[in-house]
Amino acid sequence: MMDLLAQATPPSDSSPFWSAPNGSSHLVIGIGAALLLGIGLIFLLLQAPVRSRRWIVALFTFLAGGYYVLYFFWPTAIDRQPNDLPRNPMEGVTFWISDAFPIVSTFTNVLAGFLLGLGIYSLWRVHGRRIVKQQKDWFFSFVLLASSVMMAFIGYADWHSRQGLNGPLLANKANWHPINYAFDFFFEGGLQQMDAAMFSIIAFFILSAAYRAFRIRSVEATVLLATALVVILSLMGVITNAWQSGINHLGGPDAFVQNFSLDTIRTWLTNTVQTPSIRGIDFGIGIGSLAMGLRLWLSLERTGS
Amino acid sequence: MSTAQTTLGEKLQSLPKPALYLVLILLTSVPLLVKITIPNKEAKPSANFYTMVTGTVDPTFPAFTTSIDATKPVLIQTDWTTSTRGESAGQFKSLMRILMIRNIKFCFYSAGDPQAPQVALDYISDINEERVKAGLRPYERWKDYVDAGYFPGAEAICNAIQNNFGTAFKNVQDQDAEGAESSVFESPVLKGVRKVSDFSVMILVTGSNTSNIAIERIKSVPMIMMVTGVMGPETQVYYDSGQLKGLVTGLKGLYDMESLMDKDPQFKGKVTTLDNGAKYYPTLHIALLLMIIAIIIGNVGMFMTKKRAA
């Protein structure tokens, strides 16, 4: 029982069960079988009576979460060597938890990967419907879907061209094929630039928001504004240098006035005010997450049906 | 019909947005036309980061002397894309220049964004072009660095790396020197690496909170980070507690790095030292100055209106 999951660790031969070589029939068959098995399991779950479905999901949630609880709380082995054997049941559990970790972590990564698939499915569903029904701004939906198909196609073609003996040669742009230029044009020249352009718009919002919202209407607002001003000014080399020169004129390196250099005030604010505040907030978030995690693990959350 | 006259105070409080935006565009374009050099005093977290990766001790902070073992590889988690390239790209480029000049091998992966590994590869390619122009050998994939790709579950992969790096990356492949997909452990980069503590340091270049996820889980290797200005305050907490051995924050941190590189004979004259940081720092100055002026105008307007009403 103990090494149930540990047995799933890929053996060290050339064609392990869990990781078939790229492009092999073994891999294609494995993906097909896993897909069919998954669909079959979902179908079986849907056939289960509605009341028992909740319990099945709760059971799997408990088992999955239970592993991480054990991983966190169970004592870990100190300086375990590869050929070490457990000397008692307690150590047996320790070894099992440790050995099973990569497998559980792979499951977690695969599940997280499904989120990408779910996102793509949702995107296609929403925008596909808008195009079919020719709803308002359907053309933008068309551009979105056409772009995603094109990017996927070009991306795959680029990746494919880099496989094999010619792959390393393509590190040099002089050896590029048209498809590599196409990928560079769309990924670097298009997607990445638009991404950066979208983010740069924030500068306008920040300026506009600071102008409208930063008003000295109360004591708290004044403190906030003064603090923000010190931090902003301390980021400006010209100001900090000029300020420091002024301070140096007023007193030597050990003078009391040196406590009022922008850097010193900023450091004091960061270490004495900001860091403890963030620690407090993080602590609160941690406790909240723990409570939320417990509710999810024990399936105490309402399903929202 | 009479219209109520708008006072100066009210006018100052309601400057039109397009005018503000236009001034911002015009002023931040100035550094594109005129070269402005900003005086700089390096921050301690940046200097510590620099010493850690270069081995050069900044005379301003002589007490900090820890640096990495250049014979061991470096593990890099790169979680940024071009949305934060203003800060992250420069940080990543300066890091690459340092590692490549020192011939330090590295393995990179992402736990934050599927685009991140490709973005990293593009910038490595740019640095390689720069090196070739400077008469230096290009850094070779597989021999000098490996791309371990993207892991969708940040928590899971960070836990797995801490638990057992060898099994966490067991199925990770990259293109070998012949172009075939091979296990990254067969590469000269990860030869002999089985535990995360076999790396000299773990470096995160990020614009998202994957930094918190990593530092909360990976404990067996010294960690340093390059984060965006927005991420600075929450990451500073870990620097103050000593969990981070060095921290480069935002554009100021990047300018610190570049200034330190520019003073260091290891790099001066061999690679580009003053790059994105030196280019963008004046722009940041102007934008911040404009923000301060806008805040002052708004408050003066408010006080004038209040005074008039009283």
Q: Which chain B residues have a beta carbon less than 8 Å from that of A208? A: 17, 20-21
Q: Does ipTM surpass 0.90 in this model?
A: no
Q: Give the closest of B129, B177, B240 to A275, CB-based.
A: B240
Mean pLDDT of chain A: 86
pLDDT over 50 (residue A87): yes
pLDDT of B18 higher than 70: yes
How many cross-chain Cβ pairs, A to B, lie less than 8 Å apart? 173
pLDDT at B92 over 90: yes
pLDDT of amino acid A175: 86
Q: Give pLDDT tens digits for B215-234.
A: 999 999 999 999 999 899 88
Residue B1 has pLDDT above 60, yes or no: no
Q: Cβ contact (<8 Å) for B240 and A167?
A: no
Contact call for residues B211 and B225 (beta carbons, < 8 A): yes
pLDDT of residue B289: 92
CA A107 → CA A100, B15, B230, distances in Å?
Answer: 11, 55, 33
**pLDDT tens digits, residue range A190-241?**
888 888 888 889 889 999 999 998 888 899 999 999 998 998 898 888 888 8
Q: Given pLDDT bands bounded at 50, 70 and 90, which one contains residue A10? A: very low
- Per-residue 3-state assignment (H helix, E strand, C coil) for chain A: CCCCCHHHCCCCCCCCCCCCCCCCHHHHHHHHHHHHHHHHHHHHHHHCCHHHHHHHHHHHHHHHHHHHHHHHHCCCCCCCCCCCCCCCHHHHHHHHHHHHHHHHHHHHHHHHHHHHHHHHHHHHHHHHHHHHCCCCCHHHHHHHHHHHHHHHHHHHHHHHHCCCCCCHHHHCHHHCCHHHHHHHHHHHHHHHHHHHHHHHCHHHHHHHHHHHHCCCCCHHHHHHHHHHHHHHHHCCHHHHHHHHHHHHHHCCCCCHHHHHCHHHHHHHHHHHHHHHHHHHHHHHHHHHHHHHHHHHHCCCCCCCC
What is the least distance, in Å, from the CA of A48 to any CA of chain B? Answer: 30
pLDDT at residue A65 above 60? yes
- pLDDT category at A104 given cuts 50, 70, 90 is confident
How is residue B70 annotated by DSSP? T
pLDDT mean over A238-255: 87
**Taking residues A107-117, what's their average pLDDT?**
83
Torsion (CA) B287, B292, B297, B301 in degrees, nearest 10: 140
Residue to substitute from B10, B163, B217, interface A, most A β-carbons within 10 A: B163
A207 vs B290: CB contact, 8 Å cut-off? yes
pLDDT level of residue A2 (50, 70, 90 thresholds): very low
Q: Which residues of B touch A83 (CB under 8 A)?
A: none
Overall average pLDDT of the A15-24 stretch: 64
pLDDT in tens, B189-200: 999 899 999 999
Confidence band of B66 (pLDDT split at 50, 70, 90): confident
Strand B181-183, strand B173-175: pairing: antiparallel
Which residues sit opposite B183 in a β-bridge? Answer: B173
Q: What structural domains does chain B harbor?
A: 44-284 (3.40.50)
Which pLDDT score, from 0 to 100, does residue A3 have? 47
Spell out which residues of chain B touch residue A206, defining contact as CB-CB under 8 Å: 291
Mean pLDDT on A84-113: 85
Lowest mean pLDDT among B163-177, B209-223, B284-298: B163-177
Per-residue pLDDT at A11 exceeds 50: no
The confidence score (pLDDT) of residue A30 equals: 86
How far apart are the CA of A200 and the nearest CA of chain B, in angstroms?
A: 8
Among the listed ranges A105-119, A122-136, A144-158, which one has the minimum average pLDDT value?
Answer: A105-119
User: Cα–Cα distance between B8 and B297 in angstroms, integer?
Assistant: 11
Greater pLDDT, A142 or B155: A142
Question: Which of B122, B70, B97 has the alpha carbon at shortest distance from B270?
Answer: B97
In angstroms, the CA A58 to CA A296 distance is 9
**pLDDT of res. B309:** 85
How close is the nearest chain B Cα to the Cα of A236, in Å? 6
pLDDT of A305 over the 70 cut: no
Tens of pLDDT, residue by residue over B93-116, are: 999 999 999 999 999 999 998 889
* pLDDT tops 70 at residue B36: yes
Candidate from A10, A19, A207 with C-beta closest to B291: A207
| HSE-CB for A94 with a 13 A CA cutoff | 15
Q: Summarize the confidence of residues A43-48 as an average pLDDT.
A: 88
pLDDT of residue A297: 92
A16-25, A26-35, A78-87, B251-260: segment of lowest average pLDDT: A16-25
For residue B4, the tally of other CB atoms under 10 A from its CB is 6
CA distance B265 to chain A (A): 24
Is B21 touching A (CB cutoff 8 A)? yes
State the pLDDT at residue B218: 94
Angle at CA of residue A45, ends A39 and A49, nearest 5°: 155
Contacts of B255 in chain A (CB under 8 A): 237
Tell me how close the Cα of A272 comes to any Cα of chain B, in angstroms: 11
Residue A207 and residue B287: Cβ atoms within 8 Å? yes
* Record: contact A98-B85, CB cut-off 8 A: no
